[in-house]
Amino acid sequence: MIEFFKNWIEVVNFPELMSGFKLTVELTIISLLIGFVLAVVLAIATESRYKIFNIPSKIFVFYFRGTPLLVQLFLIYFGSGQFRDELEAVGLWQYFREEYFCALLGLTLNTGAYTAEIFRKAIQNVSSDQIEAAKAIGMSRFNIFRRVVWPRAFRFSLPSYGNEAVFLMQATSLVSLITLIDLTQSARNVIKVNFAYFEVFVAAALIYLVFSSLIVFIFKRIEKYLPNI
Amino acid sequence: MTLAVGLCAMVLAVFFGLASAIGRKSENYFIRLLIETYTVVIRGVPELIIILLVYYGVPILVASVSKSLGYPVELNLNPFVAGFITIGFIYGAFAAEVFRGAFAAVATGEVEAAHSIGMNKKQTFLRVELPQALRYSLPGLANIWMVLIKATSLISVISLYELINNARIAVNNTSLSFTFYFAVSLIFLLITIISIWGQNKLENHNRRTGFEP
């Protein structure tokens, strides 16, 4: 039994897998953070009275939720090549030709859209009596949002948000198709050398499992830490 | 082709989901453990890895197991079959969650009433619980269908003749990559819109009796 494990660890080139894992973690964390900011902005914009905020953000959310992430990534990475001249004129081409930037952009926009839906439902779920009470005291709209609506909405959204974070981690494996070397791609690289499909993919799956459990654990701790409003 | 894979996978997912939901009620500890593991693993591991694992790994597994049994079997998985089985398997775990909620939503009073008439467990399940649970599970299942259809785009990775590959061919020929990928995304959006419309119709059909307990 121990022999089996030793053999397995030798075959699976863990250091190389770990370097790919590092990229996965980076992508997940950065897209999560930027996506969070984007999602809050989008959630507010979708609920706004003014059509100029309302309509573009609704279209944005509908588009990014309705199309597969793979298509979105391809669109940004391969598709920007068609607009190379225009982008060069604006000076953005040097960013769009790098895979890292394209992957980050695609992941952030996608997770921003999904998270915006979560936040929107959470904001709607805040009971209106509290908001009316705040209005009666005379709080400005911004203050109402900051002190009454947002804490409750954030707490409400935490379970679904944790779920979405796990989906984000799973989605980072797609960037391997844009020639970025994340965990999935480094697993395939190891396999190109030693052809141990099963062992290496199982090892990669285990690493993903551990990471996703970590994410779930972190979100549960955040939930406990916040006061129960 | 996307739709064909999607439909087959959805059927499989419903099957796995129902099986898991029923299995959860089982008194056998090992069956429940198996189903819990199934759900946890699927939720933690990316779909791409599972697809690659199944497509490359299963033939190897089958070959090595059957070789040790002295009966060499060469299995070459058709990408279509491998694709839809894997995706059905993955979304079966999500469907299990949906069915779990749906079964919990069935009024226990009805189950007790059925028991008091004298129906045994299998009969109560088939005649009382299952139809009602299916009604309650529809919104969740429609959600899963949306996600599933997008996941079928992943099968292009194992070179299935599919929507994205067509776009890739067009791109290679004309280098108008943005236009074509954008067209692909519009097609997916169209599928999404049609699915939403279908889902609304189904829900209205479900409500037609006008009785909401």
**For residue A161, pLDDT beyond 50:** yes
Tokens for B164, please give them. 């994205």
Measure the CA–CA gap between B98 and B138, rounded to whole angstroms. Answer: 9
Picking from B3, B48, B182, B191 by the largest number of A CB atoms within 10 A of its own CB, the best residue to mutate is: B48
Report the half-sphere exposure of B66 (CA within 13 A, side-chain side).
11
Region of poorest pLDDT, from A199-203, B35-39, B62-66, B207-211:
B207-211
In this predicted model, what pLDDT tens digit does every residue of B129-156 receive, in sequence order?
788 888 888 877 888 888 887 777 766 6
Instruction: Please tell me the pTM assigned to this model.
Output: 0.79
- Tell me if B46 and A173 make a contact (CB, 8 A cut-off): yes
DSSP element (H, E) containing A18: helix A14-47
Spell out which residues of chain B touch residue A198, defining contact as CB-CB under 8 Å: 53, 57, 60-61
Highest mean pLDDT among A98-107, A208-217, B25-34, B35-44: A208-217
Amino acid of residue A136 = A
Nearest to B151 by CA among B4, B6, B29, B1: B6
* Contact assessment for residue A107 and residue A171, using Cβ atoms and an 8 Å cutoff: yes
Q: What is the mean pLDDT of chain A?
A: 86
pLDDT at B77: 64
Region of poorest pLDDT, from A14-18, A130-134, B82-86, B93-97:
B82-86
Length of chain A: 229
pLDDT at A41: 92
**For residue B187, pLDDT beyond 80:** no
Widest CA span in chain A? 72
**Residue B139: exposed, middle, or buried by beta-carbon count in 10 A (0-12, 13-18, 19+)?**
middle
Alpha-helical runs (H) found in A48-83:
51-66, 69-77
**For residue B78, pLDDT beyond 70:** no
ipTM topping 0.90? no
Residue B185 has its nearest CB partner, among A75, A176, A208, at A75
Spell out which residues of chain A touch residue B50, defining contact as CB-CB under 8 Å: 205
- Tell me if A170 and B184 make a contact (CB, 8 A cut-off): no
pLDDT at B161: 41
Per the model's pLDDT, the better-predicted residue between A182 and A84 turns out to be A182
- List, as ranges, residues 141-170 from A with C-beta within 8 Å of B: 166, 169-170
- Tell me if B179 and A82 make a contact (CB, 8 A cut-off): yes
Spell out which residues of chain B touch residue A208, defining contact as CB-CB under 8 Å: 44-46, 49
**For residue B162, pLDDT beyond 50:** no
pLDDT at A71: 82
The stretch A81-87 carries a mean pLDDT of 74
Measure the CA–CA gap between A22 and A105, rounded to whole angstroms. Answer: 18
* Contact assessment for residue B77 and residue B58, using Cβ atoms and an 8 Å cutoff: yes
Confidence of residue B84 (pLDDT cuts 50, 70, 90): confident
Interchain contact A72–B (C-beta under 8 A): yes
Picking from A170, A183, A189 by the largest number of B CB atoms within 10 A of its own CB, the best residue to mutate is: A170
Tokens for A210, please give them. 């551990």
- DSSP assignments along A88-131, one per residue: HHHT-HHHHTSHHHHHHHHHHHHHHHHHHHHHHHHHHHS-HHHH
pLDDT at B70: 62
Measure the CA–CA gap between B137 and B128, rounded to whole angstroms. Answer: 15
